[in-house]
Structure formats: C-alpha cells, structure tokens
Amino acid sequence: MAKTRERRPGIVIMARLIALVGPLAWVIILAVIGGALGFLCAMGVMVFGALGVAKLLGEVVALSYGQIMACAILCGVLRGVLRLWEQYSNHYIAFKLLAVIRDKIFKALRVLCPAKLESKQKGAIIAMLTADIETLEVFYAHTISPICIAVLVSLTVLLFVGFYVSWYLALAALAGSLVIGIVLPLVSSVRLRPSGVAYRKEFASFNGYFLDSVKGVKDIVLNNAGPARAAEVDRRSEKLQEQTAIARRATALASGVTELCVSLFILIALLAGVGLHLSGGLSLGKMIVGVVAIFGSFGPVIAISALPGNLTQTFASGDRVLDLLEEQPSVTPVTDGVDFDFDHLEVRNLTFSYDREPVLRGVFLTARRGEIVGLVGPSGCGKSTLLKLLLRFWEKDGGEILYNGADVAAVNSKSLLDNVTMVSQSTYLFDETIEDNLRMAKPDATREELEEACRKASIHDFIRTLPDGYQTRVGALGDNLSAGERQRLGLARAFLHDSPVILLDEPTSNVDSINEGIILRAIARQKRDKCIILVSHRASTMAIADRVYAIREGIMEQER
C-alpha cells in the first residue's frame, strides 16, 4: 500500500544504516583512520616545510634541517600508503557491505512474497534492488568517512595549533571548520532540496514514460500513436533538461559560496596570525607553521560541503530500504505447525477482501483425492483470489480452509507447497534452457519423467521441433513462444512437481481445441490419486469436472 508518512529524520536513517551493517563497521573505522592519517600526513609535508622556514627565521626547533627534511619525505610516502589503505577499505565496503544489504533485502522479500510481488509495487521493488542499493554505496563509502575524517582532522589541527602556536589562531580555525563543514552544508541542503526533488521527479517521470514506450512500441505502432508518443517523450525530456539546469545552477552556486568562504577564512587566519605577530604575542616562525596547518585542514571540511547534493537522495534510498526491511509480512511462513499428506480439503464460509471491498463473502467448497472440482464465474469475481488463498498468499479475513481438518494457517508452509501446486494464468519462464525451466519443479527428475510430464501437457512434440530440443534456451526464443506454449510449459512443470493437489487457473484458455482435448484427457487421467481444482470460462473444459461451483458476487454456489 502507498505510504503517506513522512520520511525518517536524516540522523535516524544514518544511525539505522550503520547499525544495519553492524559487525562490518570496523572496515568503515579502518577507512576513516586511514583517511584521517593520510590527510594529516599530507599536511605534515607542508607543516614540516613551514617548520624548516621557521627554523631559518630563528625559531628554536628541536630537529635538525636533515631531520625536518626526512620527516617531510616520510609524510609524503606515508600519505601514499595511507591513501591506498583508505581506498582499499572504501572499495571493500562498497562491495562487501552492499552484498550484505542485498542479502538482507532478499531475505526480507522471501518472507514478504508472494503477496508483495502480487501487488503493483513490483517496479518499485526492482528499482530498490538496483538503484537504491547503489546509492547506499555512496553513503557507506563516501559519506560517513568524509564526515568522520573531517572531524578527526579538524580536531587534531585545532589541538596542534592551540598548544603549539596560539589558541586565538585555533579559534579562527574552529570558526572556519564550523562554518564550512556544518553551517554551509546545512543551508545548502535546505536550499538544494526543492530543486533536487523536482529533478528526481522529472527524471523518474521521463524514465518511466520512455521505458514504458519502448516496452509497448508494438502497440504504439499498431495504433499509429507514434507521433503523439514521440511528442510527449520530447516534452518530458525538455522538462527534465530544464530541471537539470536549475539543479546544476543551484549546486554551482553552493560550491562557489563554499570556495569563497574557504578563501575568506584563510585570509582571516592569516590576518589574525600577522596581528598576533605584530603585537608581539607570536614569533614569525610559529605564525607561519600555524597558518600553514590551518590552510591544510580545510581540505577534508570542503569535502563535506560537497555532500548535501547526494545526501537527500541517499536518505530517500536509505528510507525506502529501511521501510522494506521493517515491513511486516502480510503472511508469516509457518515452521512450527503440522505436516500433512493431503486427503481432503474443506473451505467453510471463507471471506476475503484486498482493500475494503469484499471479494469473497461466503465461500464453501469441498474437494478430495480422486476428484476434479470446477470453478466458474465472471471475470473479476475472485476465482484466482480463491486459488491464491488456498496457497495462503494472503491471510483470509474469516472462515476456514482445512487441509485434512487442519487450518491452512496452522500447517507448515513447506508442507503446504509440497502438497499443493498452482499453475497461474501467466507462467514465468526464466532465461535458461527449457529443461532447467521444467526441472525447477523437481530437480532430481529423470529424463523419462521430464518427457512424460511434457507429453501430458501436450508440449513434448513442440519441444522436439526446437533446434536444441530440451536444451533450447528460452531467451533465445525471445517472445516467440506463444501464449499457449508457455501455458503448456507451466502445466508440464506442475505435472512434474507431482503434488497431490493441483490448482489450475485457466489451463486451456490459450490453446486450440485439439490441444485442449489432449490436456484435459491428461488431467482426467491424473485424477485417480490427485485432487484437481480447475478454473475455466469454457464449458468444454468444465466437462471433465466432477462437480462445478460458481462464484457470484462473492458467494459460492454449487452448480452441479
């Protein structure tokens, strides 16, 4: 269901995202330490240089010129090593942590499905699995560490300047860091938000429309709707460009202001240093060392001010990922229930609604092994819904669904799936070989079993005509499998799975009457030790049913 609640506060998202990767937080800490030490070494080169100049100007320095030079060189070399360390840690974070989060999301989805994937949010979930998780990489590898590095470096420089040079200069450095690293980012994050939000909205709108048009290009051509569609693509593209320009201008302005402030604070530090020296409070040598240190310390702080542009997006992604991880499944898998070996099914006074409108208002049905039960009713009356409830895609609102007398909510989910198979109205085929696609229903099936299932589904002869037979990749066929062929492959899967209960949702809606006859005879032959529940509009299909029920306005009636 669409959420209307506000986004979590940024700080909460950050804390939760860090907690999410808990045990791996040490890698982030390593990256931060490497980064901070690296920065300090880079500054060290300059500070030791300044120290040399200070010594030249008569400052008392405990090190010889040679030692100062050696320290500067050492800092330069260490800088390289530490940079490698930081980069290595950041990449490790990027790959390892993202794998951890993907794993968590898939686990969450496994519990949330199938109900979650039945809903219209499929696109959003795919977007999350791809785009949002990529965005989080930015958070872990390029947001937390810059912030921590900036804090560590600024603090170190502050203490160094304070103790070694002058607390007044340290104060100037602190003011600079606070303004550049905190005030400016906050202000620009507020200012950039509207243009960022508008940009992403246009971006999503353009992408969605464009992809949709590519997917539906056949129907566009058939309806001669090309020119109108192209005009709309142009219009959205132009709007997107406008928004891009606006967002770019805002970002450019923000970075310009930051640069200005950096120059300003360097000037302030310099003036303060000169002032202190002239008033006799500070030797020239120390003044140079202090001002050089402050110049250098702004580097990591500037990096923070470049963040807000990304951060809003990162927070939005983080918020969506947290939402999914926290979502309560509409159905929790049962593992401590009962196992059963199907004998009979009884549905009593079942009621169900998706939103508010009830779909099923009073459904009664019985079915046992050796029977074919037919289900008819107008389109949209809830036939597919009933089959899905038998598999507990959703929790029912009221009534009972009893397998051997045990309620569907009390039997183990695995046992339920072992006993009941459904062939839905649309069969999904993976981009693998036909054999792999069938085998997923029974991984250890023999070749004979495989072919036997295909014969029953009246698809064996067709598969033999394919260039590589059972080894033909479905992807290689593109969209060239007809709806009926797909449907029959779905049936073959179900026959191979060989569970006692088979739910068939319109199994013959896309096949001609000859194939329908073959499939129905195969279904009828299975009936001896199976229970088959068959949904169909066709009277000819219903001919093989032992009993037929009809759903009218949510109420089930037995027709014959």
Ligand X SMILES: Nc1ncnc2c1ncn2[C@@H]1O[C@H](COP(=O)(O)OP(=O)(O)OP(=O)(O)O)[C@@H](O)[C@H]1O
Closer residue to Mg ion in complex, CB, 273/382 = 382
- Give CA–CA dist 179/66, Å, rounded: 39
Residue 505: CB minimum distance to ligand X, A: 7
Residue pair 487/475 in contact by the 8 Å Cβ criterion: no
- Decide if residue 427 touches Mg ion (CB under 5 A): no
Residue 521: CB minimum distance to Mg ion, A: 24
Residue pair 217/248 in contact by the 8 Å Cβ criterion: no
Residue 216: CB minimum distance to ligand X, A: 21
Of 346-365, which residues contact ligand X (CB under 6 A)?
A: 354, 359
Tokens of 71: 């320290």
Of 131-150, which residues contact Mg ion (CB under 5 A)?
A: none
Closer residue to ligand X in complex, CB, 267/483 = 483
Segment contacting ligand X by CB under 6 A, of 50-58, 177-185, 318-326, 379-387: 379-387
Among 135, 166, 313, 384, binds Mg ion (CB under 5 A): 384
In sequence order, the 6+-apart residues with CB closer than 8 A to the CB of 355 are none
Q: Which of 558, 554, 559, 557 is nearest to 385 (CA)?
A: 554
The neighbouring-strand residues paired with 504 are 423, 534
Please report, for residues 170, 177, 279, 554, the alpha-carbon distance to residue 295 in angstroms, rounded to integers and kept in the order given.
12, 11, 22, 76
Segment contacting ligand X by CB under 6 A, of 336-344, 382-390, 451-459, 482-490: 382-390
- Decide if residue 379 touches ligand X (CB under 6 A): yes
Give the sign of the dihedral formed by CA 470, CA 474, CA 479, CA 485. Answer: positive
Tokens of 15: 């804390």
The vertex-221 CA angle with 216 and 222, nearest 5°, equals 100
- Give CA–CA dist 48/36, Å, rounded: 18
Segment contacting ligand X by CB under 6 A, of 80-88, 154-162, 270-278, 377-385: 377-385
- Give CA–CA dist 79/73, Å, rounded: 10
Closer residue to ligand X in complex, CB, 202/516 = 516
Rg of the chain over Cα atoms, rounded to whole angstroms, equals 34
Among 317, 385, 458, 541, binds ligand X (CB under 6 A): 385
Residue 357: CB minimum distance to ligand X, A: 8
Burial (0-12, 13-18, 19+ Cβ within 10 Å), 8:
middle
* Ramachandran category for residue 313: left, alpha or beta (phi over 0 → left; psi -120 to 50 → alpha): alpha
Among 383, 460, 488, 530, binds ligand X (CB under 6 A): 383
Residue 388: CB minimum distance to Mg ion, A: 9
Residue 383: CB minimum distance to Mg ion, A: 5
Burial (0-12, 13-18, 19+ Cβ within 10 Å), 442:
middle
- Decide if residue 2 touches ligand X (CB under 6 A): no
Amino acid at 457: A
Segment contacting Mg ion by CB under 5 A, of 67-75, 377-385, 449-457, 478-486: 377-385
- Give CA–CA dist 478/486, Å, rounded: 12
| Residue in this structure with the two tokens 């490698």, named with its chain if needed | 84
Residue 389: CB minimum distance to Mg ion, A: 13
What is the maximal distance between C-alpha atoms in the chain? Answer: 111
Tokens of 142: 């390029």
Q: Which x/- pattern over 208-247 shows residues binding Mg ion (rule: CB under 5 A)?
A: ----------------------------------------
Residue 381: CB minimum distance to ligand X, A: 4
Residue 385 touches which member of ligand X, Mg ion, none, C-beta under 5-8 Å by kind: ligand X
Residue 381 touches which member of Mg ion, ligand X, none, C-beta under 5-8 Å by kind: ligand X
Residue 502: CB minimum distance to Mg ion, A: 16
- Decide if residue 530 touches ligand X (CB under 6 A): no
Strand 501-505 and strand 531-535: the pairing is parallel
Residue 366 touches which member of ligand X, Mg ion, none, C-beta under 5-8 Å by kind: none
- Decide if residue 382 touches ligand X (CB under 6 A): yes
Residue 118: CB minimum distance to ligand X, A: 4
- Decide if residue 300 touches ligand X (CB under 6 A): no
Alpha helices in 21-64 (DSSP H): 25-56
Burial (0-12, 13-18, 19+ Cβ within 10 Å), 404:
middle
Q: Which x/- pattern over 87-126 shows residues binding ligand X (rule: CB under 6 A)?
A: -------------------------------xx-------
Closer residue to Mg ion in complex, CB, 104/538 = 538
Closer residue to Mg ion in complex, CB, 384/487 = 384
Where are the strands (E) in 377-486, listed by range? 398-403, 406-407, 420-423
Residue 385: CB minimum distance to ligand X, A: 3
Of 397-436, which residues contact ligand X (CB under 6 A)?
A: 425
The vertex-14 CA angle with 147 and 39, nearest 5°, equals 15
Segment contacting Mg ion by CB under 5 A, of 230-238, 254-262, 346-354, 382-390: 382-390
**Residue 143, Cβ neighbours under 10 Å: how many?**
20
Residue 513: CB minimum distance to ligand X, A: 20
- Give CA–CA dist 43/293, Å, rounded: 7
Q: Write the DSSP assignment of 382-416 as a string of letters.
A: SHHHHHHHHTTSS--SEEEEEETTEEGGGB-HHHH
Segment contacting ligand X by CB under 6 A, of 166-174, 179-187, 372-380, 402-410: 372-380
Amino acid at 158: L
Residue 436 touches which member of ligand X, Mg ion, none, C-beta under 5-8 Å by kind: none
Closer residue to Mg ion in complex, CB, 258/427 = 427
Residue 380: CB minimum distance to ligand X, A: 4
The residues of the shown chain that bind Mg ion, judged by CB under 5 A, are 384
The residues of the shown chain that bind ligand X, judged by CB under 6 A, are 118-119, 354, 359, 377, 379-385, 425
